[in-house]
């Protein structure tokens, strides 16, 4: 016990020494430029009214699902929701997971086998890395969005080959060159898997995602979509073939050995999709993105991004943290992303734009940023 407690204490001390200790903070009253609630769905009065009205049709609903999907936790409502999601995203099937983290761990830990190769972008999300770690496949990493580096790894790959990328990168806001990646995947007989966590709701017809926008639904082996970001609710789904769905039901431990999410969660997801289709939320968010990019004068420090995630690089943990503190002091919730979450020297402010951000708030934030930078 003494050894364990010493280890814990020393690890935390190290974080304090490096100025990288993570702590939880309560909610605040600052203007939101930090959440992933890009379309404002989680707080939308209209969506909440839709949900509350719909709920009246299910007076006997249960608070908990009752078990895992393979035991008592499967309900026809969930399967019908999965069908609707699959149709919307132009996929053969959809398999709901309790979170995006679970979906990635559940997919990558179960599908690639010993002797196979998973090739991932160096900036890929932690949930994918953890899924890969749980598989027995080899992992190659290619330089961010670099097709030459990807092809180099493809040449070295053995067994069944999986390429995994994000359509929109969560800490950079930029996009994978999916069309070119599809070509390479075909050339090397690899399966391309795309995490669309930050693309759904923002890109493509009614927010169907970048894969749909580019007409690549039939060229991508699987897509991971999440509901906790632009859709304002919670959970995720893996889109792919019906056979893939059956495979996951049989082999994906993150799906098999967990209690299914409750009905209320699935009803909220269904209502979020109804609301998503009800009007053009995309032009609202893209107007705000355009306004932000036009108003900010940060030169090359502002990374290229047409997504709701806008990045200003401020190298150094202390400098980035100080910039965030000054901005928060003026009433805007902007967070610094520090190393080791990003590479040392590329510390940054991650500014998320939302449909609940007023034009004046965006302009005022940009004025402040222009002064600080
Ligand atoms: C690219 C990406 N994939 C997956 C996830 C995990 O999704 P969830 O928050 O639903 O667990 C995230 C969340 O930050 C993400 O950014």
pLDDT digits (tens, 9 = 90+) for 45-79: 999 999 999 999 999 999 999 999 999 999 999 99
Local confidence band at 333 (pLDDT 50, 70, 90 cut-offs) = very high
Work out the mean pLDDT of the chain and round it to a whole number: 97
Residue 1 pLDDT greater than 90, yes or no: no
pLDDT of residue 140: 98
**pLDDT greater at residue 22 or residue 205:** 205
**pLDDT greater at residue 317 or residue 260:** 260
pLDDT of residue 291: 98
* Ligand 1 centroid from CA 150, angstroms: 23
The 10 Å Cβ neighbour count of residue 70 is 13
Contact 65, 262 (CB under 8 A): yes
> What is the mean pLDDT of the segment spanning 355-361?
98
| Tokens linked to 327 | 């901005």
* Ligand 1 centroid from CA 31, angstroms: 23
pLDDT of residue 339: 87
pLDDT of residue 107: 98
Residue 341 pLDDT greater than 90, yes or no: no
pLDDT digits (tens, 9 = 90+) for 116-154: 999 999 999 999 999 999 999 999 999 999 999 999 999
* Ligand 1 centroid from CA 261, angstroms: 17
> What is the mean pLDDT of the segment spanning 330-336?
97
* Ligand 1 centroid from CA 5, angstroms: 31
Angle subtended at Cα 56 by Cα 52 and Cα 61, rounded to the nearest 5 degrees: 100
Percentage above 70 pLDDT, the chain: 100
* Ligand 1 centroid from CA 297, angstroms: 30
Residue 34 pLDDT greater than 90, yes or no: yes
* Ligand 1 centroid from CA 77, angstroms: 24
Cα distance between residue 298 and residue 287, in whole Å: 19
pLDDT of residue 37: 98
> What is the mean pLDDT of the segment spanning 349-354?
98
* Ligand 1 centroid from CA 111, angstroms: 19
**pLDDT greater at residue 218 or residue 27:** 218
* Ligand 1 centroid from CA 99, angstroms: 8
Contact 229, 198 (CB under 8 A): yes
Of 149, 138, 278, 114, the closest CA to residue 206 belongs to 278
> What is the mean pLDDT of the segment spanning 306-330?
96
Cα distance between residue 258 and residue 241, in whole Å: 23
Pocket residues: Cβ below 6 A from ligand 1: 99-101, 104, 125, 127, 166, 170, 195, 197, 226, 228, 236
pLDDT of residue 188: 98
* Residue from 127, 172, 308 whose mutation best tests the ligand 1 pocket (most atoms within 8 A of CB): 127
Instruction: Determine the distance from the C-alpha atom of residue 297 to the mean position of all C-alpha atoms in its chain, rounded to a whole number.
Output: 28
Local confidence band at 18 (pLDDT 50, 70, 90 cut-offs) = confident
pLDDT digits (tens, 9 = 90+) for 243-271: 999 999 999 999 999 999 999 999 999 99
pLDDT digits (tens, 9 = 90+) for 144-202: 999 999 999 999 999 999 999 999 999 999 999 999 999 999 999 999 999 999 999 99
The residue whose C-alpha atom lies closest to atom 9 belonging to ligand 1 is 100
The 10 Å Cβ neighbour count of residue 47 is 23
Going along the chain from its start, the domains and CATH numbers come out as 20-44+281-372 (3.90.1150.10), 61-278 (3.40.640.10)
- Bridge pairing between strands 138-142 and 117-121: parallel
The residue whose C-alpha atom lies closest to atom 6 belonging to ligand 1 is 100
pLDDT of residue 354: 98
pLDDT of residue 331: 97
* Ligand 1 centroid from CA 236, angstroms: 9
Cα distance between residue 104 and residue 97, in whole Å: 9
Local confidence band at 20 (pLDDT 50, 70, 90 cut-offs) = confident
* Residue from 36, 98, 125 whose mutation best tests the ligand 1 pocket (most atoms within 8 A of CB): 125
* Residue from 100, 350, 352 whose mutation best tests the ligand 1 pocket (most atoms within 8 A of CB): 100
* Residue from 169, 170, 258 whose mutation best tests the ligand 1 pocket (most atoms within 8 A of CB): 170
pLDDT of residue 355: 98
* Residue from 226, 265, 341 whose mutation best tests the ligand 1 pocket (most atoms within 8 A of CB): 226
78: left (phi over 0), alpha (psi -120 to 50) or beta: alpha
The residue whose C-alpha atom lies closest to atom 7 belonging to ligand 1 is 100
* Ligand 1 centroid from CA 133, angstroms: 17
């Amino acid at each position: 016990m003494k050894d364990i407690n010493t280890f814990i204490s020393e690890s935390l001390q190290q974080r304090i020494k490096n100025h990288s200790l993570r702590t939880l903070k309560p909610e605040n009253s600052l203007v939101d430029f930090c959440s992933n609630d890009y379309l404002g769905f989680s707080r939308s009065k209209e969506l909440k009214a839709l949900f509350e009205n719909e709920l009246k049709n299910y007076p006997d609903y249960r608070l908990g699902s009752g078990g895992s999907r393979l035991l008592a936790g499967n309900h026809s409502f969930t399967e019908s929701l999965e069908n609707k999601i699959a149709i919307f995203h132009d996929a053969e099937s959809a398999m709901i997971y309790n979170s995006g983290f679970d979906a990635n761990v559940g997919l990558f830990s179960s599908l690639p086998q010993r002797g196979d190769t998973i090739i991932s972008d160096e900036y890929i999300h932690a949930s994918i890395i953890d899924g890969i770690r749980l598989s027995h496949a080899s992992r190659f990493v290619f330089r961010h969005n670099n097709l030459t580096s990807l092809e180099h790894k493809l040449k070295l790959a053995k067994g069944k080959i999986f390429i995994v990328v994000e359509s929109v990168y969560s800490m950079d806001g930029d996009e994978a060159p999916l069309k070119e990646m599809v070509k390479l995947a075909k050339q090397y007989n690899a399966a391309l898997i795309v995490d669309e966590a930050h693309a759904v709701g923002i890109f493509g017809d009614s927010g169907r995602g970048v894969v749909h926008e580019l007409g690549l639904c039939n060229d991508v082996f699987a897509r991971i979509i999440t509901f906790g970001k632009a859709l304002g609710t919670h959970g995720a789904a893996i889109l792919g073939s019906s056979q893939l769905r059956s495979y996951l039901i049989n082999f994906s431990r993150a799906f098999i050995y967990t209690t299914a999410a409750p009905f209320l969660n699935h009803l909220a997801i269904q209502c979020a999709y109804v609301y998503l289709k009800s009007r053009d939320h995309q032009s609202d968010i893209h107007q705000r993105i355009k306004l932000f990019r036009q108003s900010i004068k940060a030169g090359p420090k502002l990374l290229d991004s047409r997504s709701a995630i806008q990045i200003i690089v401020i190298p150094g943990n202390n400098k980035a943290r100080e910039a965030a503190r000054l901005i928060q002091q003026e009433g805007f919730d902007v967070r610094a992303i520090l190393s080791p979450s990003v590479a040392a020297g590329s510390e940054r402010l991650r500014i998320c734009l939302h449909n609940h951000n007023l034009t004046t708030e965006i302009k005022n934030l940009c004025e402040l940023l222009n002064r600080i930078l």
